[in-house]
C-alpha cells in the first residue's frame, strides 16, 4: 500500500477464513482467495478459477475500497494519495466488471452491484480523492448498464452513508470529524457523524447495506439497472434528484 495514509485495520486472511466458515455452516461451498483489485490479470485468473469451481458467476459485488485520510485539502494532496484511492476505489470496480462481464454476456444473465458512497453525490473537505472515485463509480455503473442491457445483465450501485465499520471507527477519522479534540472517542465523533445524515443517527449497521445488495442481486430486480440505491439515513435528500 506504500506510504499513503490508510490508518485503519484492513482485512486479513483470518477474515477470509471466517467467511468460509460462515458459508460452509449454511451447507454451501466457498472459494476464498487474495487478489489485488488493481491487477486486472489477477481478477481474470480469479474469475477463471471460480468458473471452474462453480460453473458460472451470476452475481458480482465490486465492494473493495479504501478511505485515505491525509487530512489535507486538494491543493496539498500528494499524487500518491490521489493515485492510490482512484486505483483501488474506481479502477478496481472497472477491473471487477471487466473480469466478470464476458461470462455474463455469454450466458445472457448477471447481476453486478458496485459500492459507491453518499460522497459519490456530494463533496466535502479533505476527501477529494475518495469523493472523486465514488462519483466515478456512479458514472461507470450508469455507462455499464447501457452496455450490458442487451444481454440480460443489470448493473447498479449502492451508496451507503456512515457504516459502523473500522473504516470510520478509527482514530484518524475521528480526528478529522472532531479536530477540536486531541483524542476524540467514538461518542465524541458520533455527533459529527450524525450531522452528515438527515435521520438523526450517526451510523448504519453493515447488515442494512447487505440487505440492499441482496435485493439488487435477486431475480425480482431484473427491471432495475443503472440506478443508485442510497442507504444513507436520508443524506441523499440534500442532493438533487
CA distance 72 to 3: 15
Alpha carbons within 13 A on the beta-carbon side of 210: 4
Sign of CA dihedral 36, 40, 43, 49: negative
Q: What angle do CA 67, 70, 74 make, to 5 degrees?
A: 95
Q: Where are the beta strands (DSSP E) in the chain?
A: 59-62, 110-115, 153-160, 228-231
Summarised one tens digit per residue, pLDDT across range 11-35 is: 888 999 999 999 999 999 999 999 9
Work out the number of other CB atoms within 10 angstroms of the CB of residue 239. Answer: 13
Any idea where the domains of the chain sit in the sequence? 13-238
pLDDT tens-place values along the chain, 241 residues long: 444 567 777 888 899 999 999 999 999 999 999 999 999 999 999 999 999 999 999 999 999 999 876 568 999 999 998 999 999 999 999 999 999 999 999 999 999 999 999 999 999 888 899 999 999 999 999 999 999 999 999 999 999 999 999 999 998 889 888 999 999 999 999 999 999 999 999 999 999 999 999 999 999 999 999 999 999 999 999 998 6
Radius of gyration of the chain (CA): 18
Catalytic residue list contains 8: no
As given in the structure block, the three cell numbers for residue 230 are 442510497
Give one word for 193, left, alpha or beta, with left for phi > 0 and alpha for psi -120 to 50. alpha
The CATH number of 13-238 is which of 3.40.50.720, 3.30.70.100, 3.40.640.10, 3.40.190.10? Answer: 3.40.50.720
**pLDDT reported for residue 2:** 45
Amino acid at each position: 500500500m506504500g506510504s499513503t495514509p490508510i490508518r485503519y485495520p484492513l482485512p486479513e486472511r483470518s477474515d477470509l477464513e471466517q467467511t468460509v466458515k460462515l458459508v460452509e455452516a449454511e451447507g454451501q461451498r466457498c472459494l476464498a482467495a487474495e487478489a489485488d483489485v488493481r491487477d486486472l490479470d489477477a481478477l481474470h485468473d480469479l474469475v477463471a478459477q471460480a468458473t471452474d469451481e462453480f460453473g458460472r458467476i451470476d452475481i458480482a459485488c465490486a465492494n473493495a475500497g479504501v478511505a485515505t485520510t491525509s487530512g489535507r485539502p486538494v491543493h496539498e494532496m500528494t499524487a500518491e494519495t490521489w493515485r492510490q484511492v482512484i486505483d483501488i476505489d474506481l479502477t478496481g470496480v472497472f477491473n471487477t466488471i471487466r473480469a466478470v462481464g464476458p461470462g455474463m454476456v455469454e450466458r445472457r444473465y448477471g447481476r453486478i452491484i458496485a459500492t459507491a458512497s453518499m460522497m459519490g453525490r456530494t463533496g466535502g473537505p479533505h476527501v477529494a480523492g475518495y469523493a472523486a472515485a465514488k462519483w466515478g463509480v456512479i458514472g461507470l455503473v450508469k455507462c455499464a448498464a447501457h452496455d450490458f442491457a442487451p444481454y440480460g445483465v443489470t448493473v447498479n450501485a449502492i451508496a451507503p452513508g456512515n457504516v459502523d465499520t473500522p473504516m470510520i471507527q478509527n482514530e484518524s477519522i475521528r480526528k478529522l470529524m472532531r479536530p477540536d479534540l486531541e483524542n476524540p472517542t467514538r461518542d465524541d465523533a458520533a455527533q459529527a457523524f450524525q450531522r452528515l445524515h438527515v435521520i438523526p443517527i450517526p451510523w448504519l449497521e453493515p447488515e442494512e447495506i447487505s440487505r440492499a445488495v441482496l435485493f439488487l442481486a435477486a431475480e425480482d430486480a431484473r427491471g432495475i439497472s443503472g440506478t443508485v440505491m442510497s442507504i444513507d439515513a436520508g443524506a441523499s435528500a440534500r442532493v438533487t434528484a
